[in-house]
Amino acid sequence: MTVGPHTDVATANVLCTLGTDDSRRALREVLVLEPDLVGLQEWYPSRVRLLQETGSVGLAPHVGVRLGSRTSRRGAAYIWNIPLFGGCAVGARADRFDLLGCRGRLLSAPGRADRPDRMLGLEPPRFATVAFYRDRHVPQTVCLVDYHLVSGVQSKGVYRSDRPVLVRRHAQEVCRLERLVGELLAQGHVVHAVGDSNFDGLRLPGLTSAWQGREDAPGTLGPRRHVDDVHGPGPAQSVRSLSTPSDHRALVVRR
């Protein structure tokens, strides 16, 4: 791995039920810090115009077609990719990175959910979004993995015993995410994996959690403090937590 300038990586779960104004505010409160890479969760195609306000937008998988910006903007411009399903949108600063490709990776298929709040007792599929970039500052390819794992599986720091189906599903998603990260590292990419694991304390082999050495620091979501994370190459130099209109706090992590 080539050592170069620092990289600021952000993750933000922006609650899907927020209105347009609150969603825009949540995004801008992260982008005002001009992170190099951004992973958003619960960010569905209905919000595509908000991304156009800050850069160009394409689909995941990447098909070479991009939607231009809708308004003039201040600060850094971003290259965004948004999937049709899964809600994990990714972005990179256009003045630092060239987009090489972007695709989705299935973490779990639709299936039964042993929880009362799912319509028809079904759990939707979960996808990770995987984007590949060429770093203009140093000769390396950088991969951003954005994930949002199934919720409702943890209580008091451990898996819930009353939801075995959901727990098995979450464990499967973790295994597939670990396998994905391992594949990308083996290919020689610099890998950053960001998102909401819905499990306080998740670790990904080959990468370092932003919370390593900061286990007592204030987290992002109530008593399950460290469900949002930015995993990357080595310990974080700094971790900044941001309050937004969403129910999760966003993170901006420097390495």
95-146 pLDDT per residue, tens? 999 999 999 999 999 988 887 777 777 899 999 999 999 999 999 999 999 9
Gap between the Cα atoms of 49 and 51, Å rounded: 5
Residue 228 is assigned to a structural domain of this protein: yes
d(CA 185, CA 161): 34
CATH number at residue 182: 3.60.10.10
Q: Which of residues 211 and 115 earns the better pLDDT score? A: 211
Is residue 160 situated within a structural domain?
A: no
Only one residue has tokens 């082999």, namely 205
pLDDT given for residue 62 in this prediction: 83
Residue 235 covered by a domain: yes
Residue 33 lies in a domain: yes
pLDDT-derived band at 1, boundaries 50, 70, 90: very low
Residue 175 lies in domain: 8-106+126-155+169-254
Alpha helices (runs of H) in the chain, residue ranges in sequence order:
20-31, 48-52, 164-186
In a domain, 113, yes or no: no
pLDDT of 4 > 70? The answer is no
In a domain, 119, yes or no: no
Closest of 59, 96, 99, 58 to residue 77, by C-alpha: 96
Least confident of 8-12, 122-126, 238-242: 122-126
The answer as to whether 161 is a domain residue is no
Instruction: Quote the percentage of the chain above a pLDDT of 70.
Output: 93
Residue 43: name the closest of 90, 102, 93 by CA: 90
Please, are residues 225 and 200 in contact by the beta-carbon 8 Å criterion?
yes
Q: Total structural domains in the chain? A: 1
Instruction: Please write the tens of the pLDDT for every residue from 25-83.
Output: 999 999 999 999 999 999 999 999 999 999 999 999 886 666 766 665 566 799 999 99
> 115 in a domain, yes or no?
no
Which one of 2-6, 67-71, 201-205 scores highest in mean pLDDT? Answer: 201-205
